[in-house]
Structure 1
Amino acid sequence: MSELAEILGKDRIAYFSMEIALAKNIPTYSGGLGILAGDTIRSSAELNLPLVGISLVNSSGYFLQRLDENGMQSEEAQNWSPSEHMELLGAEATVLVERRDVKVKGWLYEHRSFTGGMIPVIFLDTDVEGNSRQDREITRYLYGGDERYRLMQELILGTGGVRLLEKLGFSIMKYHMNEGHSSFLTLELLQRYGGDEDQVRRTCVFTTHTPVASGHDTFPFEMVEGVVNDPGQMELLRKFGESEGRLNMTVLALNLSGHVNGVAKRHKEVSEQMFPGYKFNSITNGVHSYTWVCPQFRELYDRYIPGWANEPELLVRVRNIPNGEIWRAHRDAKKELIDYVNREKGIGLSHDVLTIGFGRRMAEYKRPAFVFSDLKRLRKVNDAGRIQFIFAGKAHPRDERGKEIIREIFGYMHELRESVKIVFLENYDMDLALKMIAGVDVWLNTPKQPYEASGTSGMKASHNGVVNFSVLDGWWIEGCVPGVTGYAIGPAPGMERSPEEAESMELDDLYYKLEYVIIPEYYNRRDEWINIMKNSIGMIAYYFNTHRMMRRYVTETYF
């Protein structure tokens, strides 16, 4: 088992996450939560932190996105073979699911950093000989199936994860729940500690990532009783996890965790409003710097800021890089993206036109089509200086509104085809994300306040000198110095405005700043534009990274 034997018995932090993005060809992630988890693993390896990751193997991945000429999304399985990337571990755990003993095995992936650190990540798998056909499917689809399927997955993740770690001989000093999906682990620990609630709380850390009510998993107790099938555990679930007559996985984690945090300062405040009576801390998310810097900027940083990859705070020295070198690296990254898009779509995007990117999950609260709310104004913006758009993102297979938004964007492509070029790229994944966040000129983000918990795509863009243009929500409240590190859209949080007034102000501000601020600066005042690019690197990227984030988890939660 390679280096695994050497670390068994040494105290470690068990990091539980429903999804973890480690590589494109290991499709065990759907979006931001998985990317954040993968970046956490990467930074932990470079910082030599004693972490072990736990997730589900999701052997059919999330899904491959197919879009027809009208933007109609269809989904295909993303089958992959764990045996090609991981080592099957010898130990097995057993979890009672619907009165059946379900065997759980683990696949070991060893993530190695260029500094020599290694973090083991264990992917749980119920596709085990002896399990029923139904049970062998539990760890197959990420966020697939119905509510009952999700409940069984979360039971395997939380309970099965703790048991398999014990079978393997790990000594765990802290259990970090990355979202509420793994909250069943608290019941397993209660049992292990003889019902000592305080001991469980001393051992558990919980990070919540969403201010959207639907992002907090809840289940009817009748269903839970059928799946868990243990009177003692049901009593504990009602005691610690009941909210509005249902099992709420977030509430279960809140009640049995000694440290609870949101993922931005604003998200802490919103979380305390969502869950009155609970105290939240805040540790703002980051991104793994080396992973999210494109080759053109890596080469530039290597020359002018040696050591930046393992000490991202050194990016504050970006002022040492001549403007011409910054612009050349950006121009080359943009050419790579535009050439890729033109090969794939044959749309004829221009290398010289201000290019605006939008890449994230297609969900209504993220308002992907917000920029098209007033086409007359948008055409006027384009008359002031040409613009073009690149969109990407998947809608969840059961999110009909998200799918409809994709179709709407395709409709705007057709309606604006004579004036503004728009393209929508399929299968937004880690590779495509890196191309986009490095190759566009402006990274657009238009969430409905206050539903952006943090948002990390803009942090990735800043690492490549791409200018953020975003509603003031999530991390951007902390990162935005208007006109210095990027641009804000609309009023600051906390101003007394109705939702309709706030949206009207945001829309007016969006078009005004595009026409009268961003376009003139990009086309006519290049040195000022490059200065904002440098500030994106030296004032944002140097701080909003997972090295800084993990140091805070170490000092504030783990030890």
Structure 2
Amino acid sequence: MAFTFKPYTPAAKYKTAAAYFSMEFALDQALKTYSGGLGFLAGSHMRSAYELKQNLVGIGILWSEGYYDQGRNEDMTLKVNYRRKYYSFLEDTGLMFPITIHGADVQVKAMYLAPETFGTAPMFFLTTDIPENDYVSRTISHHLYDPNEAARVAQSILLGVGGGKLLDLIGRKTDVYHLNEGHGLPLAFWLYDKHGRQLDEVKKRLVFTTHTPELAGNEERPMKLLTDMGFFGSVPVEEVREVARLHGDSLNYTLTALRFARKANAVSKVHGVVSNEMWGHNEGICPIIAITNSQNGTYWRDKYLAAALKAKDDQALVERKYELKKALFELVADQTGNVFDPQVLTIVWARRFAGYKRADLILQQFDRFVKLVTDTERPVQMIWAGKPYPLDYGAINLFNSIIQRTKHLKNCAVLTGYELNLSAALKKGSDIWLNTPIFPREASGTSGMTAAMNGSVNLSIADGWIPEFIKPGENGFLIPHAPEGTSDEERNAQESVALLDVLENQVVPMYYDQPKQFLKVVKTAMKDVEPEFESNRMAKEYYEKLYK
């Protein structure tokens, strides 16, 4: 039986047909197609598109072995495991078609995720891991962010060209193609070839979101590799150079996307300024506006906390928070053997593990930190969690060093398995959500939004979305960051002192000595975070500011 694409009927105001291309989507714990914040954001976007009944289709890749499973070695340090995944809830469309990679045909199969499965926009996941392909072609869709450079290029072709061809194959007229990061850039050249090699025709249809100032999120590859792999389809390399305004021997995905799109967005107001400073001097780029990332409340917020807030029932809110802390501490005890107390102020640092996010900033003044977590009158409990990139040995060493430095402290824990379920447990069970990036390298930082929805107060460097949200002492706490131009060593020293000053002088005294005031901060944060930082607002803005 042939596959027939019959999504829900879109709302009248969202009839513009859009397709959203992303290398990762965090939709449900059961579907391992994400690594971190980019996937969490894309997942919330797809959920809000469903709630608003937007005419949106998600295009991703079905990663046979996911990102990786985070386990432990015998000494409790990080262990990377790969395990094959199978998903009975994905529908085999029966659609199979070829794309060209490195001069050879590679067969692509499309799997369908129906909207009602997880409450998302209709979604297609592409795979090359099928018997019709040779072994090397099958591995293209094995690992999200494969470390092999040629494999990464092939993955981009799969997402961009494969996604574009699929939409034509199912007969969907698409008005707007939305690239979430530059990973799917081959789509731009596929559209260019499809529409008579007229750049203006691509610009009518293509929009782009840039998510980070970090090098890893702004890929750049040698032109020879891209040409050999078939990144540009049938467009001659001389024409690629001309239309993409290339002057060197490499191509930057972000810059090229900015030259092919009609409009682009950064993911917070701060990031909007940073992005325009980074790219604005280049000729031929499109406007970059700011649409601040957000997260889906229906998925993330604890309904009992939300109900208690709405009913203005402080006792019910406090009691529910106590229950959520107990639930989190059962996970802590199971993984580490440390038994935490729900009455004790609990701080969590949890996100993708990367050096610039500085998971260990709170440990830089180690004696002061130890004093905090061993204080018998006003103690503090501290939890870390997050997944480093499997070949980011600096981040892995940092993860392991935190385990080694804190393993003798019964009020500290480092957890593995940072995926959707653990992330939710940490947000619901923490009192303070700690965020310590190097300013201005955190483009958005959406984990703090879902923490605030669940009564966890943000303590953060004023980066990403935070300046748009925090009113110090009213709905969160700010860590003053060092002046621009300060050396790395001096900045870390200054900001680690500032972090502990805020904890010792503001957060800890308020939690223990002024519990009513602390509860007021919790409730204000819960009220202030929605609807401004809930993803229905973001999804509406994409239609209003980017798609029209």
Coarse TM-score class (shorter-chain normalised): over 0.9
Alignment of 1:419-434 (within 5 A): 421-434=411-424
Alignment of 1:387-466 (within 5 A): 387-414=380-407, 416-417=408-409, 421-466=411-456
Deviation digits for residues 24-55 of structure 1, max 9, x if unmatched? 11101111111111110000000010000000
Deviation at 1:89, TM superposition (A): 1.2
Deviation at 1:246, TM superposition (A): 0.8
Change (3 A) 1:2 1:334: farther
- Tell which deviates more after alignment, 47-56 or 93-102: 93-102
For 1:80, the equivalent position in structure 2 comes to 85
CA distance in 1, matches of 2:209, 2:460: 24
For 2:116, the equivalent position in structure 1 comes to 112
- Tell which deviates more after alignment, 97-106 or 124-133: 124-133
Deviation at 1:245, TM superposition (A): 2.6
Deviation at 1:247, TM superposition (A): 1.6
Amino acid corresponding to residue 366 of structure 2 in structure 1 = L
CA distance in 2, matches of 1:551, 1:113: 23
CA distance in 2, matches of 1:550, 1:440: 28
For 1:340, the equivalent position in structure 2 comes to 331
CA distance in 1, matches of 2:247, 2:93: 38
Instruction: Decide which of 47, 58, 67 is 2:63's aligned counterpart.
Output: 58
Deviation digits for residues 342-397 of structure 1, max 9, x if unmatched? 23322111222111101111111111111100112223434372111111111111
Deviation at 1:213, TM superposition (A): 1.8
CA distance in 1, matches of 2:245, 2:323: 52
Deviation at 1:118, TM superposition (A): 5.9
CA contact 2:8–2:53 (8 Å) conserved in 1: no
> Aligned with 1:219: secondary structure?
strand
CA distance in 2, matches of 1:109, 1:216: 29
Deviation at 1:496, TM superposition (A): 6.4
Change (3 A) 1:361 1:118: closer
Change (3 A) 1:2 1:112: farther
Deviation at 1:323, TM superposition (A): 2.2
CA distance in 1, matches of 2:83, 2:210: 28
**Pairs aligned (count):** 535
CA distance in 1, matches of 2:92, 2:330: 41
CA distance in 1, matches of 2:349, 2:251: 36
> Aligned with 1:504: secondary structure?
helix
Change (3 A) 1:329 1:132: same
Mark the runs of 5 or more structure 2 residues left unpaired by the alignment: none
| Aligned: 1:478 with 2:468 | yes
Deviation digits for residues 58-110 of structure 1, max 9, x if unmatched? 1111111122254532211132114x121111333321111101111200001
Point out 4+ residue stretches in structure 1 off by more than 4 angstroms. Answer: 6-11, 494-501
Amino acid corresponding to residue 363 of structure 1 in structure 2 = A
Change (3 A) 1:94 1:241: farther
> Aligned with 2:406: secondary structure?
helix
Change (3 A) 1:521 1:360: same
Instruction: Decide which of 232, 238, 243 is 2:241's aligned counterpart.
Output: 238
Change (3 A) 1:325 1:29: same
Amino acid corresponding to residue 41 of structure 1 in structure 2 = M
> Aligned with 2:121: secondary structure?
strand
Mark the runs of 5 or more structure 1 residues left unpaired by the alignment: 305-319
CA distance in 1, matches of 2:247, 2:79: 35
Instruction: Decide which of 268, 271, 276 is 1:267's aligned counterpart.
Output: 271
Percent identical pairs in the alignment equals 33
CA distance in 2, matches of 1:160, 1:94: 8
CA contact 1:19–1:56 (8 Å) conserved in 2: yes
For 2:5, the equivalent position in structure 1 comes to 4
- Tell which deviates more after alignment, 149-158 or 532-541: 532-541
Deviation digits for residues 420-478 of structure 1, max 9, x if unmatched? 62111111010010000110110001111111010111001000111100111111111
For 1:285, the equivalent position in structure 2 comes to 293
CA distance in 2, matches of 1:243, 1:447: 34
* Structure 1 length-normalised TM: 0.91
CA contact 1:15–1:51 (8 Å) conserved in 2: yes
CA distance in 1, matches of 2:295, 2:499: 26
